[in-house]
Structure 1
Amino acid sequence: MSFTDLAVLLAPHGLRTLGDCPDGDCTITLIGPAEPAFWGVFRDSPEYNDGTPNPMDRWSARVLSAVAHDLEAEALFPFGGPPYSPFFTWAKKSGRFWASPIGFLVHEEAGLFVSFRGAIRWHTTPQLGDAPQPCLTCAGQPCATACPVGAFNDGYDVAACKAHVGSEAGTDCRTGGCLARRACPVGQGSRLPAQAAFHMEAFL
Structure 2
Amino acid sequence: MSGAEELAARLAEDQLEVLGGFAVSEAEAGFPPGTRTLLMLGPKEPGFWGHLTSQPEWDGAPDPVDRWSRRVIGRIACDLGAKALFPFGGPPYHPFYQWALRTGRVWDSPVRLLVHAGQGLMASFRAALALKEAVAVPPPGTKPCDACAAPCLTACPAGAISGAGYDVPRCHAFLDQPEGADCLSGGCLVRRACPVSQSYARLPEQSAYHMGQFHR
The residue aligned with 2:17 is: 16
The residue aligned with 1:61 is: 70
2:94 counterpart SS class: coil
The residue aligned with 1:192 is: 203
The residue aligned with 1:120 is: 129
**1:21 positional shift:** 2.1
The question of 1:141 aligning with 2:142 is answered no
1:68 counterpart SS class: helix
The residue aligned with 1:158 is: 168
Cα distance in structure 2, aligned partners of 1:106 and 1:86: 16
Q: Percent identity?
A: 49
**1:121 positional shift:** 0.5
Cα distance in structure 2, aligned partners of 1:15 and 1:52: 23
The normalised TM-score by structure 1 is 0.95
Cα distance in structure 1, aligned partners of 2:175 and 2:94: 28
Contact 2:191 2:197 in 1 (8 A): no
**1:126 positional shift:** 4.4
Q: Which runs of 5+ in 2 are unaligned?
A: 27-35
Contact 2:39 2:137 in 1 (8 A): no
The residue aligned with 1:7 is: 8
Contact 1:21 1:91 in 2 (8 A): no
The residue aligned with 1:178 is: 188
The one-letter code of the counterpart of 1:171 is A
The question of 1:37 aligning with 2:35 is answered no
The normalised TM-score by structure 2 is 0.89
Over aligned residue pairs, what C-alpha RMSD do you find?
Answer: 1.3
**1:102 positional shift:** 0.5
**1:124 positional shift:** 2.2
Cα distance in structure 1, aligned partners of 2:10 and 2:134: 16
Moved beyond 6 Å, runs of 4+ = none
Q: Which runs of 5+ in 1 are unaligned?
A: none
Q: How many residues align structurally?
A: 202
**1:166 positional shift:** 3.0
| 2:86 counterpart (67, 70, 77) | 77
- Which moved further from structure 2: 65-74 or 150-159? 150-159
Cα distance in structure 2, aligned partners of 1:133 and 1:143: 15
